[in-house]
Amino acid sequence: MSETNSCTVDIATLYIVPTPIGNLADITQRALDVLANVDLIAAEDTRHTSRLLTHFSISTRTFALHDHNEQQKADYLIEKLQAGTSIALVSDAGTPLISDPGYHLVNRCRQAGVKVVPLPGPCAVTTALSGAGLPSDRFSFEGFLPPKSKGRRDRFQALADDERTLIFYESPHRIMDSLADMLAVLGPDRQVVLARELTKTYETFHGAPLGELIEWLEQDSNRTRGEMVLLVAGHRAEKEDLPADALRTLGLLTQELPLKKAAALAAEIHNVKKNALYKWGLEHLD
């Protein structure tokens, strides 16, 4: 059963409020209600947030809370919350805490017993994933890549065998260097989707094997402009070709033995991996 819509906000509560990642029409009515009715908005960049508030004729007072002052200002905000103030936390775009400030404040609020209410809304990670055409049942959001080549290559090496779809944020001035490091570690055939300028006029999704994607970007510098999300297909192990005689032996043995034991014997006879034979038997033998 859905709850009745309400414009009221609770006292002594921290609201996590997602804001548009591009198209202002993507803000929810609930987000607008909260921003208009809380006592204070803690914003990553008050100037940026002020433009959003002005667009929607919201006059709530703002307070700067960003990476450089969050840990120092958290206590001040918690004191205000405990005194009954209602506060909305916003970042420049998307959902706070997702590669944006807010973790320290939310963590401290939870420790202090302050009520935290997260609102659903825009997020570049899920927006890109839903439109990329890559497997979405399992994925790993890796945030921004390290600024230096060695750090990036180390990260790619650590993730090379990960079977989940991998999602990264990257900036225009580093995109080509990051893709070059990815190419050196993952090779030219890994499927990669570049999603850029999501929800904006020049929104683009382009997917291709990594080597081809790099060539496509090199053809036009405009393709490397704007906010970017990189989605990388997970590792897919090559299926081992099993010798026909090994499969024939397995079939004969399973007429008299359990599959697991038959696979072990056939593997020993033909010098192949028993797990591969066992898996093949599960898929093909009754």
CATH code where residue 23 lies: 3.40.1010.10
The Cα-based distances of 213 to 13, 86, 189, 247 in angstroms read 46, 47, 10, 40
Q: What is the pLDDT of residue 237?
A: 63
Average pLDDT over residues 239-263: 88
- Is residue 111 located within the same domain as residue 135? no
Query: Is residue 1 over pLDDT 80?
Result: no
Query: Is residue 3 over pLDDT 60?
Result: no
Helices (H), the chain: 29-37, 46-55, 70-82, 103-112, 124-132, 149-159, 175-186, 210-218, 244-253, 259-270, 274-284
pLDDT digits (tens, 9 = 90+) for 14-73: 999 999 999 999 999 999 999 999 999 999 999 999 999 999 999 999 999 999 999 999
Question: What's the full length of the chain, in residues?
Answer: 286
**Quick check: helix, strand or coil at residue 218?**
helix
Among 90, 122, 154, identify where a domain stops. Answer: 122
pLDDT digits (tens, 9 = 90+) for 114-166: 999 999 999 999 999 999 999 999 999 999 999 999 999 999 999 999 999 99
Closest CA to 40 of 51, 53, 27: 53
The Cα-based distances of 104 to 11, 33, 110 in angstroms read 21, 25, 10
Closest CA to 16 of 46, 44, 57, 52: 44
Beta bridge partner(s), residue 169: 144, 229
Task: Say if 5 falls within a structural domain.
Answer: no
Check: pTM over 0.85? Answer yes or no: no
Token duo for residue 172: 């225009």
- Is residue 146 located within the same domain as residue 118? no
- Is residue 102 located within the same domain as residue 159? no
Beta bridge partner(s), residue 196: 204, 228
Task: Say if 172 falls within a structural domain.
Answer: yes
Token duo for residue 40: 């204070």
What range defines the domain where residue 64 resides? 13-122
Task: Say if 140 falls within a structural domain.
Answer: yes
| 257 phi and psi angles, rounded to 5 deg | -125, 160
Task: Say if 237 falls within a structural domain.
Answer: no
